[in-house]
Structure 1
Amino acid sequence: MKASILKSAKQKGIVLFVALIALVVMSLAAVALIRSVDTNTIIAGNMALKHTALVSSDRGVETALNWLEAQVIANPANLYADNPAQGYYATFLPEEGSPDLDSVDVLKADATWANAGYATGDGITGGTEASSGNHIRFIVQRMCRDTVAPASNICLLGDPEIGNGSKKVVPGDGGGAIINTQQSPIYRITTRVAGVKNTVSYAQTYVY
């Protein structure tokens, strides 16, 4: 009878030990699951912020294009010289005073963007987009080696032929449209989007 009682106590002890091990394993699994969910949430949040920043950068490019068009209509020679107050540089060479945006350190420096242009448009005030809270600035660089009229020996020029062979249409003197068969200098538009949670994104677009 005594042996039976001892055997029963041992069995209960083994069952308790196994139950404790199972409890520890379940606790570890729960912690791992929570961490996995947190990580997925963070990744999803980061992807959403990047997508929003990319969309916002388009607003900066649109503003830059509108500014370039206004200069061409007013006087194309306006684009032969730097206009740092508007974030415009007639060359891309650092030795000519243009910021070296190929350098990561220069690109990220706050001083580089001190005189950059601000995005404008519906829902944007002072460069800040109301819907996203993103602050959008841009710098335009003409891909030329000197601050003079564009020429093939000093500038990267875009082909006036576009895709299917159509010509670029530009405003005429009388307010109508004319066909532009001349090559245009290429412009590099770099946008900086400072968003929520201290996120900063950069994008570059080449246009002509």
Structure 2
Amino acid sequence: MLTPAPLYRRRAAPPLRQQGIVLLVALVVLIGMTLAGLSLLRSVFTSNRIAGNLAFQQAATQSADVGIETAIAWLENNNTGTTLHQSRDAAGGELGYFARREDPGPGQSWEDFWQQVLVGSNRVNVLPPDAAGNTVAFVIHRLCNSVGDPLAGARCETSPLTKNEGNSQTALSPAFSAPQQQYYRITARVSGPRNTLSYVQVVVAM
């Protein structure tokens, strides 16, 4: 009689333990995406701030035109007589005007020169703030080495003396010479929102 072989039960494999690898990878990816988003957001804010500062700087530079045009109009109205031979201060509403040239010293910035010398001597003309909140102040320097009449000892920067030299077509025309013009330097300082500060200089001949 054959004895049946004993039946062996196959044991089920033990369940695999969760090692948490997927969760760890997901957290690393999430942190990377968060950092990338924050970096992009910061870049956008920085770009907007730079664009805004450039806009304020451009507006301040454009506002300087008002001070320059005001100074040119005053020079044109006082270009005759002896008004431009002497310096005038801004007290009593008079225009800030230097009859001789003054520049910043060695190592001195224009802002330091403006605050320490020009404002300190009370010869800065300040205009009312405009609609954009910019305040324009300006001074005029006659480019001469001293005050007084340019024809009586005060050496000044002047335009070249021009005259017709004559040629085959103007052999019989009378010789003439154009009067020399004095040079004036207008310096406009504009202060505005967000601590905006701009300097604009123009040299005119009259």
The whole-number CA distance in structure 1 between the counterparts of 2:46 and 2:89 is: 43
Secondary structure of the structure 1 residue equivalent to 2:31: helix
Q: Are 1:133 and 2:133 counterparts?
A: yes
**Amino acid in the other structure paired with 1:71:** N
TM-fit CA distance, 1:207: 0.9
Change (3 A) 1:80 1:2: farther
Q: Are 1:18 and 2:19 counterparts?
A: no
Secondary structure of the structure 2 residue equivalent to 1:157: coil
Secondary structure of the structure 2 residue equivalent to 1:158: coil
Q: Determine which structure has the larger helix proportion and give its number.
A: 1
* 8 Å contact kept, 1:106–1:112: no
Which residue in 2 is equivalent to 1:116? 124
Q: Are 1:90 and 2:91 counterparts?
A: no
Q: Structure 2 unaligned runs (5+)?
A: 1-11, 163-176
5 Å matches for 1:1-208? 1-6=12-17, 9-10=18-19, 13-72=20-79, 75-85=80-90, 86-93=95-102, 100=104, 103-104=108-109, 105-109=111-115, 112-113=118-119, 114-119=122-127, 127-129=128-130, 131-150=131-150, 154-159=155-160, 181-208=178-205
User: What CA deviation, in whole Å up to 9, does each residue of 1:25-61 have, x standing for no partner?
Assistant: 0111111111101110111011101110111001110
Larger Rg: 2
* 8 Å contact kept, 2:187–2:200: yes
RMSD over equivalenced CA pairs, Å? 2.5
Secondary structure of the structure 2 residue equivalent to 1:34: helix
The whole-number CA distance in structure 2 between the counterparts of 1:50 and 1:3 is: 73
**Amino acid in the other structure paired with 1:118:** V
Aligned pair count?
A: 171
* 8 Å contact kept, 1:81–1:90: yes
The whole-number CA distance in structure 2 between the counterparts of 1:88 and 1:44 is: 36
* 8 Å contact kept, 1:53–1:134: yes
* 8 Å contact kept, 2:147–2:154: no
Q: Structure 1 unaligned runs (5+)?
A: 94-98, 120-126, 162-179
Secondary structure of the structure 1 residue equivalent to 2:146: coil
**Amino acid in the other structure paired with 1:90:** A
**Amino acid in the other structure paired with 2:36:** A
**How does the TM-score come out when normalised to structure 1?**
0.73
* 8 Å contact kept, 1:92–1:100: no
Which residue in 1 is equivalent to 2:169? none
**How does the TM-score come out when normalised to structure 2?**
0.74
TM-fit CA distance, 1:203: 1.3
Change (3 A) 1:90 1:53: same
* 8 Å contact kept, 2:189–2:197: yes
* 8 Å contact kept, 2:191–2:198: yes
